[in-house]
Amino acid sequence: MKSAIGRTYIFIVIVITLSLAGCFLGPRNAAVHVKFDIVGGDNNFAASVYVQEVDTGATFTVPYDPHTPYIVIPIKKPGRYVFYARLVEAPDDYHYGFTSYQTVGYGHMTRGGTGDPATESLVALDVKLGEKYKVYINDYRARLPEAGKPVTVPWRSLK
């Protein structure tokens, strides 16, 4: 009887150990650190951050609270993604895209943006699982894609 209990105990320990090992050996999500900046390093409003796969258009949103330094978005599938945000209070009037890592100019009536047509297309990140990325959403001049559809607005990859 003792040997049957011992074998059962050993079997349970082996199953638990292998299960836990599988959690650490499988592919991990990519981690994208997103900074949403609409006024000099801060955002005063709540926003929805959109993550959209370029080829398929698969889109999901993540909330971004006011005065949040940054958020980390896990991405579960590799692919090429664009990032943009819409303010919760006025999503049709106030929207911003990730067009560069450059801090944008602010001042009376500028509302951000680089002002450079060469950089106003969205940046698409080539996301690989297990990697970390940074995204800086701050350009109101960016043209945004239609959520849920393949991206047809101008976009480019950073070299």
The model's pLDDT over 91-115, given as tens digits with 9 standing for 90+, comes to 888 899 998 887 665 544 445 555 5
Determine the topology of domain 30-157 in CATH. Answer: Immunoglobulin-like (2.60.40)
* Predicted confidence band of residue 12 (pLDDT cuts 50, 70, 90): low
Domain boundary assignment for the chain: 30-157
How many whole angstroms separate alpha carbon 22 and alpha carbon 25? Answer: 5
How many whole angstroms separate alpha carbon 29 and alpha carbon 44? Answer: 30
Q: What is the pLDDT of residues 42-86, one digit of tens each?
A: 788 899 999 999 999 999 999 999 999 999 999 999 999 999 999
Query: What is the layout of strands, in order, in the sheet containing 132-137?
Result: 71-75, 30-36, 132-137
Read off the pTM: 0.79
